[in-house]
Amino acid sequence: MTNALEALFLGIVEGLTEFIPVSSTGHLLLIGHFIGFESAGNTFAVMIQLGAVLAIMTVYAARLSHVVRAAPHDPAARRFLISVLVAFLPAVFIGVLAHDLIKTVLFETPRLIALMLILGGVILLFVDRFAPEPKHEDAMRLPLSVALRIGFVQCVAMIPGVSRSGATIVGALLMGVGKRAAAEFSFFLSIPTMLGAFTYDLWRNRDVLDAGEAGMIAIGFAAAFVSGLCVVRWLLGYISRHGYAVFGWWRIGVGCLAMTALTLWG
């Protein structure tokens, strides 16, 4: 029962933090470290992200369906789909090559995660205030060169604590993408990225997953889906009005708290 409640709690945390630039994986790994939650092959934090992906697909279902239907005869729709694919490709190659390092070393280094939260928070505060004047306000019309560069920046988030959404949003802002458009493109890019990570991790760990582990993942998955729906519907409006500063301060606070706890209790 305890494990089920822990999985439920971690799933809620995943959904609440996946699409804001605070590192959902960093939060899950740090919380898991302090409460003693264990997952075979460190799969839990990766695989429950699929719940958050389905939340995005639910919110944008009509828009995505329209784009896919229009792609055969609409150059703009095709260009958008290609831009997401181009941005996704760097994560495919680097993720496959670095998978073992990420799961066996970086996922097991809480101090690194805390440090990345703090450093990422400082960067986010700076970029939120001093980003160049936006040149691209439509997430579905980004130049392919911009999309590719955002894709490479996303790969930095393979270090837990960096934040996939944080890396893509900061990269987009520095490339002249507006705040709302940066968040939306990060949403769209999360779909192939996290589907790919889920599928690859499931395949790599197919021999260590048992019924108990699958049950914990299912609970976390459902919780991530519900909480993710709430965040996505709220986030774009908040960003448009207030920017990203609050998330930078949140990262710094959580990172400092984690570093203090690690120093005191290990």
Structural domain containing residue 58: 2-265
**Any residues with CB less than 8 A from the CB of 178 and at least 6 apart, and which?**
134, 136, 137
Hey, which residues does 136 pair with through a beta bridge?
177
67 and 171 in contact (C-beta within 8 Å)? no
Length of the chain: 266
Mean pLDDT of 107-123: 94
pLDDT at site 119:
97
Task: Please state, for a pLDDT cut of 90, what percent of the chain lies above it.
Answer: 70
Residue 73 burial class via C-beta count within 10 angstroms: exposed 0-12, middle 13-18, buried 19 and up? exposed
Mean pLDDT of 91-106: 86
What confidence tens digit (pLDDT) does each residue in 20-53 have?
Answer: 999 999 999 999 989 888 776 667 888 888 898 8
**Any residues with CB less than 8 A from the CB of 31 and at least 6 apart, and which?**
9, 10, 13, 37
**Any residues with CB less than 8 A from the CB of 79 and at least 6 apart, and which?**
141, 144
In angstroms, the CA 127 to CA 74 distance is 35
99 and 200 in contact (C-beta within 8 Å)? yes
Count: domains in the chain: 1
- The token duo for 209 is 């997953």
Lowest mean pLDDT among 96-100, 136-140, 181-185: 96-100
Question: Among candidates 169, 129, 135, 146, which has minimal Cα distance to 19?
Answer: 169
Q: Radius of gyration (Cα) for the chain, nearest Å?
A: 18
Mean pLDDT of the chain: 91
- The token duo for 255 is 């990172």
Hey, which residues does 177 pair with through a beta bridge?
136
On the question of pLDDT at 167 being above 90, the answer is yes
pLDDT at site 144:
96
On the question of pLDDT at 78 being above 90, the answer is yes
Look at 265 and 256; give whichever has higher pLDDT. Answer: 256
Instruction: Give the type of residue at 11.
Output: G
pLDDT at site 214:
81
pLDDT at site 96:
87
- The token duo for 118 is 């703090």
* Three-class secondary structure of residue 244 per DSSP: coil
pLDDT at site 41:
61
pLDDT at site 1:
52
What confidence tens digit (pLDDT) does each residue in 124-148 have?
Answer: 999 999 999 999 999 999 999 999 9
pLDDT at site 40:
66
pLDDT at site 264:
92
In angstroms, the CA 167 to CA 136 distance is 18
- φ/ψ (deg, to 5) at 171: -60, -45
What confidence tens digit (pLDDT) does each residue in 200-254 have?
Answer: 888 887 776 776 778 888 999 999 999 999 898 899 889 989 999 999 999 999 9
Lowest mean pLDDT among 150-159, 170-179, 195-204: 195-204
186 and 172 in contact (C-beta within 8 Å)? yes
In angstroms, the CA 186 to CA 194 distance is 12
Output the pTM of the full model: 0.90
Task: Please state, for a pLDDT cut of 70, what percent of the chain lies above it.
Answer: 97
